[in-house]
Chains A and B, each alone.
Chain A
Amino acid sequence: MLYRYLESSAAHRRDYIASIPHSAALGMDMVEVGAGRCVLRLPFQAPLADVHGGLAGGAVSALLDNAGGVAVFCSLARATDFSTLSLRVEFITAPAAGRDVFARVECLRLEGRQAHIRGVADCGDADRPGPPFATVSGVFFLKPHSQPLHDLASLGNV
């Protein structure tokens, strides 16, 4: 399972995010991974704040999309390219003012070319989730015959 590659080293987790230009630009941080799941953090930063003082909804959507992708990666047995087919975010309330946002997303099942994800966003701590302020569900579509973005052969051995 590919998740062991990310689980085994903080440098591998950093390299994964660094290979996605927009995620690196937003300062996303891969806090934790497991089999088919991950926790990503988006640090609070004023340029990404909404009128409510918390991180903007769009930035949260970007984090949840990315966390969905990492959860799918963490379900794969071998490196395979994939992309988001659909993503739905529901906001219960706005993220808390001035707080980091954590995305906790799991890949429910990977079957054929479809991978279905579910998750939440909260303003808790890395290891202590707060009450969710948003939920996400989505479908990623696998492209088994294309060159994978995160090819372990180019990242190093597992």
Chain B
Amino acid sequence: MAEIHFTSHLRTLVTDGPLSAEGATVGEALAKVLAAQPHVRGYVLDDRGALRKHVCIFADGERLAHEGALGRRIGPDTKIYVMQALSGG
């Protein structure tokens, strides 16, 4: 089962994981987790539902380019990490 891990900087809001990740893409998996924990949504996604500028996602060991991150396809062994990007300091 694919997994999602969250940065420990959000530990007061959400367990740092892993949570199970269901869906064909990073975006779908994240949406399911955020549907169950809606208070986390605004920390990861902006008002438009886009990935926040200084949040970065790793999947299958690769740091995903921001623009395509939510559309990235995932497999049964994918580990997704939602991290705070150092571009934000």
Is B a genuine binding partner of A? no
B: residues with CB less than 8 A from A are none
